[in-house]
């Protein structure tokens, strides 16, 4: 890999037991100079779950749940040009993470990952095609593992502002804003077999199973698409 430094930003919510293992894997990668873990669950102390002692790891116990957009708020304040964020229900290997890091360095005009979804408009309604996984292909939206740049972070917040979306309303739609933050369409890659946490599809834990998840995403995506069409209009 080229000599490029990354900051990893991990959010902890309902799976604090996974965080130490995720951090241990990332810490084996020399080009990740820092891991910042933000605890979105104020009812627990993350120090009870993560016992790793290294200057490369920073744990932040927050006073409230700031949602997934918190990772980009943190990234916005860092000096790194390259970032990675992995959901807390996913265990990628060192080799897989390094591979996706290299893909971002080689093509930094777009966010990269390995899992995504597409959308289509059916009679005026947005319909998602879920679970596009482990393929070398373009997607409309990347999910679960995100490899992105400081420029993408800046564009994400610009898009949130220009679509008149309140930060508190970004909610489960941060990946939509990130996916439209690049100069080019997001790209996912084949990373071979990967490991999921058994709770990734568990009711009461999995964020995507919460009531209103899809409808909120449809509304936000519609807002982003309308804004993008306005920008593309010759008038």
Give the Cα separation of 35 and 66 in Å (integer). 18
Local confidence band at 180 (pLDDT 50, 70, 90 cut-offs): very high
Q: Roughly how many angstroms between the first and final C-alpha of the chain, as a whole number? A: 44
Segments of 50-144 assigned E as strands:
57-61, 82-86, 90-91, 112-113, 115-122, 125-133, 137-138, 141-142
φ, ψ (nearest 5 deg) of residue 216: -65, -40
- Check if the beta carbon of residue 114 is closer than 8 Å to that of residue 191: yes
Least confident segment among 16-30, 39-53, 197-211: 197-211
Average pLDDT, integer, range 170-192: 95
- Check if the beta carbon of residue 105 is closer than 8 Å to that of residue 97: no
Whether pLDDT at 3 is above 90: no
**Stronger pLDDT, 146 or 121, i.e. the higher one:** 146
Q: Which of 49, 44, 43 is nearest to 20 (CA)?
A: 49
Report pLDDT digits (tens) over 155-177: 999 999 999 999 988 988 999 99
Local confidence band at 89 (pLDDT 50, 70, 90 cut-offs): very high
Whether pLDDT at 208 is above 50: no
Helix (H, G, I), strand (E, B) or coil at 161: helix
Least confident segment among 15-24, 76-85, 216-225: 216-225
Query: Residue 232's pLDDT is what?
Result: 62
pTM attached to this predicted model = 0.91
Report pLDDT digits (tens) over 138-161: 999 999 999 999 999 999 999 999
Report pLDDT digits (tens) over 34-84: 999 999 999 999 999 999 999 999 999 998 888 899 999 999 999 999 999
- Check if the beta carbon of residue 6 is closer than 8 Å to that of residue 81: no
Which domains, ranges and CATH numbers included, belong to the chain?
Answer: 6-232 (3.90.550.10)
Q: Which of 153, 115, 141 is nearest to 214 (CA)?
A: 141
Mean pLDDT, the chain, rounded, equals 91
Query: Residue 23's pLDDT is what?
Result: 98
């Amino acid at each position: 890999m080229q000599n490029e430094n990354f900051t990893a930003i991990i959010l902890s919510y309902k799976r604090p037991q996974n965080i130490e293992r995720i951090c241990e894997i990332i810490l084996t990668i020399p080009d990740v100079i820092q891991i910042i873990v933000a605890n979105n669950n104020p009812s627990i102390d993350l120090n009870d779950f993560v016992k790793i002692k290294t200057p490369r790891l920073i744990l932040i116990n927050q006073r409230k749940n700031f949602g997934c957009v918190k990772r980009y708020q943190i990234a916005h304040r860092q000096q790194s040009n390259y970032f990675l964020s992995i959901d807390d229900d996913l265990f990628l290997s060192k080799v897989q993470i390094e591979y996706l890091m290299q893909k971002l360095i080689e093509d930094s005009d777009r966010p990269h990952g390995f899992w995504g979804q597409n959308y289509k408009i059916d009679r005026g309604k947005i319909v998602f095609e879920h679970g596009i996984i482990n393929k070398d292909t373009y997607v409309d939206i990347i999910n679960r593992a995100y490899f992105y740049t400081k420029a993408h972070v800046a564009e994400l917040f610009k898009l949130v502002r220009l679509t008149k979306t309140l930060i508190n309303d970004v909610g489960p739609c941060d990946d939509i804003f990130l996916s439209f933050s690049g100069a080019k369409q997001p790209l996912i890659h084949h990373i071979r077999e990967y490991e999921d946490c058994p709770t990734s599809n568990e009711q009461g834990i999995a964020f995507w199973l919460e009531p209103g998840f899809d409808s909120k995403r449809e509304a936000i995506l519609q807002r982003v698409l309308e804004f993008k069409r306005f920008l593309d209009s010759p008038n």
